Amino acid sequence: MECPFCEHPKAHKHSKTSAGHQRFRCPACRQTFTDTIDTLYYRRRLTPADIDSILQAHTEGVSLRGIARLTKHVYNTVVDVVRASSHKAQLVHNEEVKDVETEQVIADEMWSFVKKSRSDVPQKN
Ligand SMILES: [Zn+2]
Protein backbone atom coordinates (compact mmCIF):
# COMPACT_ATOMS: atom_id res chain seq x y z
CA MET A 1 0.00 0.00 0.00
CA GLU A 2 1.30 3.45 -0.91
CA CYS A 3 2.01 5.85 1.96
CA PRO A 4 -0.47 8.76 1.85
CA PHE A 5 2.04 11.06 3.58
CA CYS A 6 5.27 10.62 1.56
CA GLU A 7 4.00 8.43 -1.32
CA HIS A 8 6.51 5.67 -0.53
CA PRO A 9 5.22 2.70 -2.58
CA LYS A 10 5.47 -0.03 0.07
CA ALA A 11 3.95 0.57 3.49
CA HIS A 12 4.03 -2.59 5.59
CA LYS A 13 1.26 -4.20 7.60
CA HIS A 14 1.69 -3.06 11.18
CA SER A 15 -0.64 -4.81 13.62
CA LYS A 16 -4.35 -4.04 13.82
CA THR A 17 -6.38 -1.28 15.41
CA SER A 18 -8.51 -1.93 18.50
CA ALA A 19 -11.52 -2.01 16.18
CA GLY A 20 -9.86 -4.76 14.12
CA HIS A 21 -8.84 -2.76 11.05
CA GLN A 22 -5.49 -3.43 9.40
CA ARG A 23 -2.89 -0.81 10.32
CA PHE A 24 0.02 0.04 8.01
CA ARG A 25 3.35 1.71 8.68
CA CYS A 26 5.54 3.47 6.16
CA PRO A 27 9.21 2.41 6.39
CA ALA A 28 10.34 5.79 5.05
CA CYS A 29 8.45 8.34 7.17
CA ARG A 30 7.38 5.85 9.90
CA GLN A 31 3.78 7.14 9.92
CA THR A 32 1.01 4.66 10.71
CA PHE A 33 -2.42 4.69 9.07
CA THR A 34 -5.29 2.42 8.02
CA ASP A 35 -6.74 1.89 4.57
CA THR A 36 -9.69 4.17 5.39
CA ILE A 37 -7.40 7.21 5.59
CA ASP A 38 -8.78 10.26 3.80
CA THR A 39 -12.33 8.88 4.00
CA LEU A 40 -15.25 9.71 6.27
CA TYR A 41 -14.67 6.42 8.12
CA TYR A 42 -11.08 7.12 9.20
CA ARG A 43 -10.55 6.95 12.98
CA ARG A 44 -14.23 6.50 13.78
CA ARG A 45 -15.85 3.82 15.89
CA LEU A 46 -19.08 4.09 13.91
CA THR A 47 -19.65 1.49 11.22
CA PRO A 48 -20.10 2.66 7.62
CA ALA A 49 -23.78 1.64 7.95
CA ASP A 50 -24.14 3.94 11.01
CA ILE A 51 -22.60 6.85 9.13
CA ASP A 52 -24.78 6.17 6.10
CA SER A 53 -27.96 6.15 8.20
CA ILE A 54 -26.98 9.42 9.92
CA LEU A 55 -26.32 11.13 6.58
CA GLN A 56 -29.46 9.64 5.00
CA ALA A 57 -31.59 11.03 7.83
CA HIS A 58 -29.82 14.40 7.53
CA THR A 59 -30.55 14.65 3.79
CA GLU A 60 -34.21 13.92 4.49
CA GLY A 61 -34.36 16.92 6.78
CA VAL A 62 -34.47 15.23 10.18
CA SER A 63 -33.14 17.52 12.89
CA LEU A 64 -29.74 16.74 14.36
CA ARG A 65 -31.27 15.95 17.76
CA GLY A 66 -33.88 13.83 15.99
CA ILE A 67 -31.12 11.86 14.26
CA ALA A 68 -29.36 11.39 17.60
CA ARG A 69 -32.57 9.99 19.12
CA LEU A 70 -33.39 7.76 16.13
CA THR A 71 -29.91 6.29 15.65
CA LYS A 72 -29.09 6.20 19.39
CA HIS A 73 -25.84 8.07 18.86
CA VAL A 74 -24.64 11.00 20.92
CA TYR A 75 -25.68 14.41 19.56
CA ASN A 76 -22.07 15.58 19.20
CA THR A 77 -21.24 12.44 17.20
CA VAL A 78 -24.08 13.18 14.80
CA VAL A 79 -22.95 16.81 14.45
CA ASP A 80 -19.35 15.70 13.87
CA VAL A 81 -20.32 13.22 11.13
CA VAL A 82 -22.53 15.77 9.36
CA ARG A 83 -19.83 18.45 9.65
CA ALA A 84 -17.09 16.12 8.39
CA SER A 85 -19.16 15.00 5.41
CA SER A 86 -20.00 18.61 4.61
CA HIS A 87 -16.29 19.46 4.70
CA LYS A 88 -15.46 16.51 2.40
CA ALA A 89 -18.23 17.51 0.01
CA GLN A 90 -16.88 21.06 -0.09
CA LEU A 91 -13.39 19.74 -0.91
CA VAL A 92 -14.78 17.58 -3.73
CA HIS A 93 -16.84 20.50 -5.02
CA ASN A 94 -13.83 22.84 -4.97
CA GLU A 95 -11.71 20.27 -6.79
CA GLU A 96 -14.27 19.26 -9.41
CA VAL A 97 -16.17 22.45 -10.15
CA LYS A 98 -13.75 24.86 -11.80
CA ASP A 99 -13.95 27.29 -14.68
CA VAL A 100 -17.61 26.60 -15.44
CA GLU A 101 -18.67 28.57 -18.49
CA THR A 102 -22.03 30.21 -17.89
CA GLU A 103 -24.29 32.55 -19.79
CA GLN A 104 -27.08 32.77 -17.24
CA VAL A 105 -27.20 32.28 -13.50
CA ILE A 106 -30.32 31.32 -11.54
CA ALA A 107 -30.04 32.30 -7.89
CA ASP A 108 -32.49 30.57 -5.57
CA GLU A 109 -31.54 32.72 -2.61
CA MET A 110 -29.45 35.77 -2.08
CA TRP A 111 -28.55 36.91 1.38
CA SER A 112 -27.17 40.23 2.39
CA PHE A 113 -26.64 42.07 5.62
CA VAL A 114 -26.84 45.81 5.90
CA LYS A 115 -25.22 47.13 9.00
CA LYS A 116 -27.43 49.18 11.24
CA SER A 117 -25.78 51.91 13.23
CA ARG A 118 -27.20 53.12 16.52
CA SER A 119 -28.11 56.51 15.04
CA ASP A 120 -30.45 54.80 12.49
CA VAL A 121 -32.60 53.33 15.25
CA PRO A 122 -35.52 55.63 16.08
CA GLN A 123 -35.26 56.98 19.60
CA LYS A 124 -38.19 56.44 21.99
CA ASN A 125 -39.35 59.59 23.68
ZN1 LIG B 1 5.63 7.56 4.28
Q: Do 32 and 61 sit in the same domain of this protein?
A: no
In a domain, 104, yes or no: no
C-alpha 11 – ligand 1 centre gap (Å): 7
Q: How far is the CA of 1 from the centre of ligand 1 (A)?
A: 10
Question: How far is it, in rounded angstroms, from Cα 53 to Cα 40?
Answer: 13
User: Residue 27 Cα, ligand 1 centroid: separation in angstroms?
Assistant: 7
Tell me which residue range forms the domain holding 65. 39-95
Per-residue pLDDT of the chain (125 residues; tens, 9 = 90+): 899 999 999 999 999 988 788 999 999 999 999 998 988 888 888 999 999 999 999 999 999 999 999 999 999 999 999 999 999 999 999 999 998 898 988 888 888 877 777 777 777 76
Considering the domain architecture, whether residues 33 and 47 belong to the same structural domain is answered as no
Residue 7 placed within a domain: yes
Q: Is residue 107 part of a domain?
A: no
- Cα 85 to the center of its chain, rounded Å: 3
Same domain, 28 and 47: no
Distance of alpha carbon 125 from alpha carbon 111, whole angstroms? 34
CA of 26 to the centre of ligand 1 (A): 4
pTM of the predicted protein model: 0.70
C-alpha 9 – ligand 1 centre gap (Å): 8
